[in-house]
């Protein structure tokens, strides 16, 4: 009887103990798992440490680095002290900086998908229409759709050649206007090249997008007075440069309350700039629609194709998508090509023997009978191409490439790179690596002759999935503009000193001091220039 009672009393005691054990395990399991995870993470990172970093400032990390100009030079100095892979902290954001060709090849090649995303910077949320442009959308189906559309309608080899006559026409129109600039003392014209180059390239891209140009093409009386760049082109150039200025600033990495307080007025500038860009794009689209209803469109343009797609499926082709595609083509294409030509002309003015060699090549190619350069001549001008390649090596369009972001944890050159790390690839340093290039700081177009530089890494257009899709278009437009200027004019520096080659700052690489130069039509080209 006692034993039964004992058994009866013991049974509920065991049940309570089991229940208590389950409760304790349930409560302790999550923190235990987190602790184990931390231990494994610590063990992993102890074998694969994070890249070295300079001494940070408490709370701000290395935000002060973003204030130095030009940034690519500052990062080059830090790489010299901390190695080809080092890390920075912009506020709470972790950044990895890569400054060697082998490591860049790894990140943009084998780890291309890992680094295919873009950091979600607050400024770009505004400027890229909610990260919807090709340059700022994350890797995935939407990005592939946008890139495919851009490539098909703008930058494919077929489309570049289809619009070659437009490119030639605009290069000649620029030469015509240069030949009519009022002369300064000495019989030469003093010209500010950048806005003229910007307008020429913008007209090319506008014609490919929506059959719109910013100055008259005709050689009539009205055109005789259009010696200066149109006001609309100047306004858009200013807007494009402000877009670059506001991309990836300290403001992006401030805590949210500081951004809400609009420190420095950045938020107001972003909103104003975006409103101006949107109004500009709406005018372009409206103008294209009116042209279609009126005289009609004889060639397929990107806006026309997108408007047709929008009629078929409004949800798949929204106004935002059309704006994103147009603004990407316009801003990226115009600034990058204009800056490249301005750098090339600066280098040629400082190296007149290179200018002469290029002119001799042009005269030999198109001089009998004497005529103006055509797009079909470019493959027969290898030295002109070498000049462009050497310019891009020394002054890459985007010296730090457009920032990428890691989508998963990975290992780079023995260092652990956590998920969500921003990647900056310093092409400016890589393109001047003395381990790769002989006399890397000198302007030597001959280094690209006869395939001598084959296999050497000069990543001015990026690599992998995020490589610039407009390389062919850019090379042809730059080649035509630079070729026409060399063929048609004698160029001289302003004064006896060399052209100032100091670099400006920003996502792209402008000259710190815009190029001004004297130009005068060559005697052998005066008649041809009067005919175009």
Q: What is the percentage of the chain residues whose pLDDT exceeds 70? A: 87
Instruction: Record the tokens describing residue 429, joined without a space.
Output: 């340093």
- Of the pLDDT bands very low, low, confident and very high (cuts 50, 70, 90), residue 295 is low
Is the distance from CB of 410 to CB of 111 less than 8 angstroms? yes
Instruction: Record the tokens describing residue 277, joined without a space.
Output: 């860009």
Residue that the structure tokens 């019989």 belong to: 187
Beta strands in 27-141 (DSSP E): 85-90, 93-98
Strand partners, 191: 517
- The tens digit of pLDDT for each residue in 481-498 reads 999 999 999 999 999 999
For residue 505, the model assigns a pLDDT of: 86
- Average pLDDT of the residues in 111-127: 95
Q: Is 210 annotated as a binding residue?
A: no
Task: Concatenate the DSSP letters of all residues of 11-38 into one string.
Answer: HHHHHHHHHHHHHHHHHHHHHHHHHHHH
DSSP strand pairing (93-98 vs 85-90) = antiparallel
**pTM tops 0.75:** yes
Structural domain spans, the chain = 63-531
Which span out of 58-62, 76-80, 122-126, 263-267 was modeled with the highest average pLDDT? Answer: 76-80
Is the distance from CB of 457 to CB of 436 less than 8 angstroms? yes
Instruction: Record the tokens describing residue 282, joined without a space.
Output: 């709406």
Residue 33 has pLDDT above 60, yes or no: no
- Average pLDDT of the residues in 298-327: 87
Superfamily of domain covering 63-531 = Cytochrome P450 (1.10.630.10)
**Torsion angle, alpha carbons of 429, 435, 437, 438, to 10:** 130
Residue 371 CB: number of other CB atoms within 10 A?
11
Tell me how far apart the alpha carbons of residues 219 and 63 are, in angstroms, rounded to a whole number. 53
- Average pLDDT of the residues in 256-270: 85
- The tens digit of pLDDT for each residue in 507-532 reads 889 999 999 999 999 998 988 988 88
Tell me how far apart the alpha carbons of residues 473 and 157 are, in angstroms, rounded to a whole number. 8
Contacts of 107 (CB under 8 A, 6+ apart): 98, 115, 404, 412, 423, 425
- Average pLDDT of the residues in 118-123: 94
Tell me how far apart the alpha carbons of residues 296 and 256 are, in angstroms, rounded to a whole number. 50
């Amino acid at each position: 009887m006692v034993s039964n009672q004992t058994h009866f009393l013991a049974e509920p005691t065991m049940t309570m103990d089991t229940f208590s054990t389950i409760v304790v395990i349930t409560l302790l399991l999550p923190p235990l798992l987190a602790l184990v995870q931390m231990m494994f993470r610590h063990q992993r990172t102890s074998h694969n440490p994070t890249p070295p970093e300079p001494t940070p400032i408490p709370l701000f990390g290395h935000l002060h680095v973003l204030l130095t100009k030009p940034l690519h030079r500052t990062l080059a100095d830090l790489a010299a002290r901390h190695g080809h892979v080092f890390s920075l902290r912009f506020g709470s954001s972790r950044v990895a900086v890569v400054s060697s060709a082998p490591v860049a090849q790894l990140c943009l090649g084998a780890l291309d998908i890992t680094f295919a995303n873009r950091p979600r910077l607050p400024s770009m949320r505004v400027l890229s229409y909610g990260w919807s442009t090709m340059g700022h959308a994350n890797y995935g189906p939407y990005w592939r759709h946008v890139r495919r559309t851009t490539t098909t309608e703008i930058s494919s080899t077929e489309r570049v050649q289809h619009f070659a006559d437009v490119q030639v026409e605009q290069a000649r129109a620029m030469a015509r206007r240069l030949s009519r600039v009022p002369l300064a003392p000495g019989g030469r014209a003093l010209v500010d090249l950048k806005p003229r180059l910007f307008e020429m390239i913008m007209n090319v891209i506008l014609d490919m997008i929506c059959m719109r140009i910013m100055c008259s093409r005709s050689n009539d009386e009205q055109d005789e007075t259009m010696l200066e760049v149109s006001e609309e082109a100047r306004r858009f150039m200013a807007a494009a440069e402000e877009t670059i200025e506001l991309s990836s600033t300290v403001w992006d990495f401030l805590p949210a309350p500081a951004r809400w307080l609009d420190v420095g007025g950045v938020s107001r500038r972003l909103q104003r700039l975006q409103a101006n860009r949107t109004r500009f794009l709406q005018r372009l689209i409206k103008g294209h629609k009116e042209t279609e209803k009126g005289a009609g469109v004889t060639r397929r343009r990107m806006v026309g194709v997108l408007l047709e797609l929008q009629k078929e499926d409004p949800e798949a082709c929204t106004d935002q998508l059309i704006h994103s595609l147009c603004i990407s083509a316009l801003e990226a294409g115009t600034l990058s090509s204009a800056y490249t030509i301005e750098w090339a002309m600066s280098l040629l003015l400082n190296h007149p023997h290179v200018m002469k060699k290029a002119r001799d090549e042009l005269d030999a190619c198109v001089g009998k009978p004497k005529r103006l350069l055509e797009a079909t001549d470019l493959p027969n001008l290898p030295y002109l191409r070498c000049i462009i390649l050497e310019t891009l090596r020394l002054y890459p369009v985007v010296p730090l490439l457009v920032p990428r972001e890691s989508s998963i944890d990975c290992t780079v050159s023995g260092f652990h790179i956590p998920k969500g790390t921003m990647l900056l690839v310093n092409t400016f340093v890589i393109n001047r690596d003395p381990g790769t290039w002989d006399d890397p700081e000198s302007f030597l177009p001959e280094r690209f002759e006869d395939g001598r530089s084959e296999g050497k890494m000069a990543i001015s257009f990026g690599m992998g999935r995020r490589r610039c899709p407009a390389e062919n278009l850019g090379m042809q437009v730059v080649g035509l503009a630079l070729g026409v200027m060399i063929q048609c004019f004698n160029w001289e520096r302003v004064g006896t000193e060399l052209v100032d080659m100091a670099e400006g700052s920003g996502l792209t690489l402008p000259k710190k001091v815009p190029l001004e130069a004297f130009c005068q039509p060559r005697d052998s080209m005066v008649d041809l220039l009067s005919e175009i």
